[in-house]
Amino acid sequence: MDALNLLGNSKDLIRGFAALLAAIEQANLMTGGQGAQANAAPAVNPYANIQDTFSRYDEQELPNGNKLRRYDSGNVRILNPRSGIVQEERPNGNFLVSLPTGRILFQEQPGYPLLVFSSIHGGPPLMARVCVVQLGAASEARPAFQFEDHEGNHFVDLDSLRYVKVAPAHVRATQAEQPVAQLQLA
């Protein structure tokens, strides 16, 4: 979208900005802001008028509760509202997974290395890999992204986008040919 088209939609931008300000004001009142209505329940949903006018998309809820968004640009995004993980595949082949810890897994193209960047601490990227992990003795093994840093081992379940971080002492490799990690829950 170029600057001229953006300026042509100034009324939509102003309406969206006004809706955002109203939602912030309403959220402030609901979360302990000063005033007589601080504890009153809102009469309407304060977020109902906020729309993403820059990136149009179709959204559907998946059976596991995740949200699938298909953008007009060709990007496909899966969001897990419980874990805060966002996975995105782009038409140019880029693949990203954003973790709630500020880490970002990035693959430039299929077959390229899977790198882990920290948006908080910076520094050189870490390497991630795809493995099979069993989260607890009662569960079945599942494919996951895995990387290790000074905090321990990090796993992202590829199907559910569930995120688990464990100390190195709790991870046990069970097969040399196929990397499999089993977490021992105490």
Mean pLDDT of 78-87: 92
Mean pLDDT of the residues in the chain: 76
Mean pLDDT of 82-89: 92
- Cα–Cα distance for residue pair 15/19, rounded to 1 Å: 6
Same domain, 40 and 66: no
Specify the pLDDT at position 65: 92
Specify the pLDDT at position 27: 65
Same domain, 78 and 48: no
Residue 22 in 3-state DSSP? helix
Same domain, 31 and 118: no
* pTM for this model (two decimals): 0.61
Same domain, 131 and 50: no
**Residues facing 37 on adjacent strands:** none
Specify the pLDDT at position 3: 43
pLDDT above 90 (res 79): yes
Same domain, 86 and 106: yes
- Cα–Cα distance for residue pair 103/38, rounded to 1 Å: 36
Same domain, 76 and 153: yes
Range of weakest confidence among 28-32, 92-96, 128-132, 180-184: 180-184
Last residue of a domain, one of 54, 73, 94: 54
* Direct distance between the N- and C-terminal alpha carbons of the chain, in angstroms, rounded to an integer: 53
Question: How many domains does one find in the chain?
Answer: 2
Same domain, 46 and 114: no
Specify the pLDDT at position 135: 73
Confidence of residue 36 (pLDDT cuts 50, 70, 90): very low
Same domain, 122 and 182: yes
Same domain, 62 and 134: yes
pLDDT above 80 (res 177): no
- List, for residues 129-156, the tens digit of each pLDDT value: 999 988 777 778 889 999 998 888 899 9
Mean pLDDT of 4-31: 62
Same domain, 31 and 90: no
Q: What is the residue range of 39's domain?
A: 1-54
Same domain, 77 and 160: yes
Q: Are 146 and 131 in contact (CB under 8 A)?
A: yes
Same domain, 22 and 75: no
